[in-house]
Amino acid sequence: MKKWLLLLGLLPISSWADPYTPQTQQAEVPKPVELPSIAVPESVPTTMGLKEAVETAMRFQSSLKASESQVRAADGRVQQQASGLNPKLLLQSTYTNQPLVNVAGGFGAVFSNNGWTHNATLSQLLTDFGHTRDLTAAQEHLRDANQAAYEQAQSDVALQVKQSYFNLLSTQRLVKVQEDNIANRREHVAEARARFSGGLGLPSDVTRAETALSAALFQLSQAQTNSGNNQLQFNLALGLDPRARISLRDEEEPLLAYQTTEQLFDMALAQRPELIQYVKQVDSAQSTLDAAYTTSSPSIGLNAAYQNRAQPAIETLGINLSINFQVLDGGLQDGRITEAKANLDRAKADLEGAKQRVLSQVGQAYLNLKNAEQQVASASAEEANARETLRLTNGRYKVGLGIFLDVIDAQSALLTAQTNRVNALTQVYLNRAALTRAVSGVPQNS
């Protein structure tokens, strides 16, 4: 009897006790950390699309200036080598002042020839049996190789700009995804607290909602940091000060036009600048070999000399024909031929290796693009299904048929799906740019 009375006495105490209030902590929405900004150069747009970004890099990227200087240096070497084929004029003036010269032997003092003496000599190489001509041709081919290398550098810079452009756009989209995720998490917190206050929810639902919200705030901070770092990389790719504030227009990378997959490989072999560079290096090595065969060949030149002397007054004009022929060169010509043949073989081997690399790059870019396109379709379906699952799960929880843990999982699945879709779409654009570079090497948006 006493036991039952004790139980009856405890019942009112349990019914009157206050419900447990979960102890949670809230975090503020993180603000993006910004660097001090400087004015953008007047010739640079503050808002860029893909075309403007590539054009800006072509004007400001220091690596291109260095590559272009190599072309001008190579052109200077052509001029130096070709000077041997052109006429040369030498002018010389000499003033002599020797008032007295003592001559031993008792002849006394002799006055010397004083005053100005003027000389002019015009010389022209008639022939060296193609030696200078072949050396000049070798330098011309190297100049063309440097020009192709400059075009390849432009292609590489354009690809880097596109990669930085789409990576920055991707991180900006992911910031928006995280912001939407936070908005949904806040709704879940409000719903969990409302159901708990009404006596329909569990305290753990509130703590789970707050935990998920805090995690979303942390992820937003990471996304903002990634976006800021990618902004710095974008400015670096453009060749601009990292503090310059530039915004982007959301644009797509166009797909390279082609009929068949085999056409991509043919286009690459015909258009890639680095292949042209290696071809020109082979041509230069061949011209150097041709010049090596005439190392010790005779050279014939013509000189016209004029002299005018003041005291005594003498004026002369002469024409000279010179023939130089080194009969024995001690093996110099044979050594140069051996070296030139080896360099030619190496240049041909480098060309074949470059062709294989180009074909491999085309195949890799094509496979990556097709795989990325398939991933976009899968990610789009994943996002649509995750969004519908979240809608259904929210509805079940609101009417008391579901548990809050399912809502948390559904929101996490939607976040993952949205992130996958952004990343997959970015990979499509990146691989389109890579395919354009692999096939033609020409910046399609420049």
C-alpha 96 chain-centroid distance:
63
Residue reference for tokens 């020009």:
147
Sheet holding 314-324, edge to edge: 88-96, 115-127, 299-309, 314-324
Query: Residue 235: what pLDDT?
Result: 95
Rounded Cα–Cα distance for residues 144 and 146 (Å): 5
Tokens of 420: 């996958």
Tokens of 376: 């976009």
Query: Residue 10: what pLDDT?
Result: 42
Domain ranges in the chain are: 24-87+128-296+332-439
Residues composing the chain = 446
Query: Residue 5: what pLDDT?
Result: 41
C-alpha 92 chain-centroid distance:
53
Which residues of the chain are under the pLDDT cut of 70? 1-28, 99-113, 442-446
Residue 26, phi-psi category: left (phi > 0), alpha (psi -120 to 50), beta (remainder): beta
Query: Residue 312: what pLDDT?
Result: 76
Question: C-alpha distances in angstroms, 161 versus 164, 254, 446?
Answer: 5, 15, 11
Rounded Cα–Cα distance for residues 207 and 188 (Å): 11
What digits encode the pLDDT tens for the residues 186-215? 988 888 888 878 777 788 888 888 888 888
What digits encode the pLDDT tens for the residues 287-311? 999 999 999 999 999 999 999 987 7
Query: Residue 14: what pLDDT?
Result: 40
Residues 6 or more apart whose CB falls under 8 angstroms from that of 99 comprise: 111, 112, 114
Rounded Cα–Cα distance for residues 302 and 90 (Å): 14
Q: Domain 24-87+128-296+332-439: give its CATH architecture.
A: Up-down Bundle (1.20)
Query: Residue 102: what pLDDT?
Result: 60
Residues 6 or more apart whose CB falls under 8 angstroms from that of 204 comprise: 22, 404
Question: Do residues 170 and 422 make contact, with C-beta atoms less than 8 angstroms apart?
Answer: yes
Secondary structure of residue 92 in the 3-state scheme: strand
Per DSSP, which regions of 233-298 are E strands? 247-248
Q: b/e for 349-384, b at 16 or more Cβ within 10 A?
A: eebeebbeebbebbeebbebbeebbebbeebeebbe
Tokens of 84: 């041997």
**Which strand (E) or helix (H) includes residue 303?**
strand 299-309
Tokens of 307: 């002299």
